[in-house]
Structure 1
Amino acid sequence: MQLKLGELGWQWNSVYFLPVLGLLGMGWLMVTSASTGIAASYTGNSAYFSIRHGIYVLLGIVAMLYISRIPIAYWRQFELHMMIAAFIGLVMVLIPGIGHEVNGSRRWLNLGIIKIQASELAKLAAVYYIAGYLVRRQNEVLQSFWGFVKPMVILVVMVLLMLVEPDFGAAVVLLGSAMIQLFLGGVRAGQYFVLTIGTLVLAVIVVTSEEWRVQRLMAYLDPWAPEHVYNTGYQLTQSLIAFGRGDIWGVGLGESIQKLFYLPEAHTDFVFAIWAEETGLVGGLVAIGLLTFLVGRIWQTVWKAQQNGYMFGAYVAAGIGSMLAFQVVINLGVNIGLLPTKGLTLPFFSYGGSSLVLACVMVGMVMRIHHEAEQMEVGGSATKGAAA
């Protein structure tokens, strides 16, 4: 299939363009404020992470606009290639010298100028694989138990590779997104119930298989206990202190105390806690509102594509929307102590080049699906008018 890029112009009026710009701008402001202390300490330049994040924001915008010009049908021919590349990446990160280790987790491929998180690419590959499978094998999925099992076997292998890194958060997001895609694809209730129970059992086994995971879970249940508050519960307690200091209106932009080496990973996984400290409940609700609006728009696109019979686009958009929603819920849940601490970034807000650019790429794909669904709707209306 020859690639024919669409015209650039409709993107400016897309329902996604301005909300994503707002998210990226707010994220850049968050990272700038949260990273000043650690940047000055590590590099001598308090704006170091801010400048790098700004470059990633620009790259993300360019990537989003470019990807939105590519017809979704073009990606279908690369489903298998994407899955193979995903597996290769997940294996390569485990190889010493190739995989880059941070805080005991080997999740990144070091490419010199940028470090790519292999699980991010794997999640997107899985979304396309499941979408393609549901379209190709729809009758088999609806009628046969094996039609449901076969794609899950491949995803379980992918999840096991993620757990070896370990990256439990990415594994949960991948499985959660796949389950929602399969549910929309018409998987029978009994099979879906078995999948849900199996996922929960796997989660329990994984959590209890390592002593450090059990300790982290106990710290989550009571982070203020004397044995946890300065140990495994330290990060959560400092995050909660940040939320408490923020109150309703916050202490003011740039005035956070917790970012001054009290709260670890203040500009990455816990950037929202610093934002809440500086802008309070009001600023936190604005950020959550923008994220909710974007996810809601994506699900509107799922509905529009489905109504127009564009099932492949609907499944892809559903996978992407689910993935972003899971990441938001898990990250915010970790920040406020509703979920055990996991290393999962907040989409569009947390510092990180590959995760930010890939989030923009996914939005570009949904923009394209929305555009193509609208074109189908217009074409269908014109056909009906002509017939009348």
Structure 2
Amino acid sequence: MRIGRLGAVVVAVLVAGAQPPKKAAGPLDGRKEAERAKTLKDAGGTEESERAVEMGLVWLAKQQKQDGGWEFDAGSKDERVAATGLALLAFLGAGETHTDKCKYQKTVAAGVAFLVKAAPGGGGIGKPLSKNAYAHGIGTLALVEAYLMTRDKALLAPAQGALNHVIAGQAANGSWGYTPGAAGDTSITGWQVQALHAARLSRDFVVPAATVKKTAEFLDAVGAGKLKARYGYSESAGAAPGTSLTAIGLLCRHRFDGWAADHDGMAEGVKGLMKKAPVKTAAVPDTYFYYYATQVVRTAGGDEWATWNEGPKGADGGRKGGMRDWLVLLQLKKDGPNQGSFDPDPGHIGRSCGRLGTTALAVLTLEVYYRYPLPR
């Protein structure tokens, strides 16, 4: 990847000017190299899954454009903020930052600079990172994570400004839609909740309690059943287990309502997700579903997580065929321009975000072991 002259200047300033506290503990410290190795082993990751993450990052780095951003290679090519946000999240998830002397420091710095350029200034509401609500939520999450991992004060105002736009754009029913203030759906809401949840991990960001409360009210409205273990698009009708919407709803419950493994609604919801547990086949996965569902089942732990991650027990007591080995198998290993990437999936991600979006989500899924800490 080559960055233009102006971009190179911005990156150099960002890298040189960032002075994060060296010993400050952070909520995402589990991504740091030493801590990551321990968490990986404890949670069921392997050397093979980490190699797959690294191969994916190598490919993603090669796709970066001269202006520091990324671009989808399918229908949503104009959504540069979403493409950049997803790619950056993959690097950040592996502990790569723009302030640490790491392998992809310049890559991350250029991506962060691209988002900062698009961000509202001064911490106000201003304009969104993108007119697309999905893209704005994804870009906001990336900015917030970059700040949480570095405490780079230069990112505080842009990240809070982007968060302010999320907060101001919430509809009266607690959802987020395609335009600010318009009633929306569970899928769009999922990305806003992820960004707001990340912000709530630090006292440096402001997220009103009223925003969280309204979100819970929306989730109650689109949740089906006594336990609210299944979720629909914009209403509870049609809510079913083992769908992307249910996985998103459950992750939102975990992030905002603190639903953990011992919560009846979460336990029932995970049972539903297990009906679509990964199976080691040659098929291309629904990466959107598995990105969300893997995070949810990770909260359950125990046999359900082992089955999801490693596969069901065989006659010999061993496990094989789970999400981890399935994704490792699907990654392209052959030498060539696509080595380390994942073929576009047949769903919305593949059609709209192509190889870049599919690869970023697959890498993020393989980082689930250490990307976010589980509640203690």
TM-score band, normalised by shorter chain: 0.3 to 0.5
- Structure number, greater radius of gyration: 1
Structure with the larger RCO, 1 or 2 (CA within 8 Å, 6+ apart) = 1
TM-score normalised by structure 1 residue count: 0.35
| Larger relative helix fraction | 1
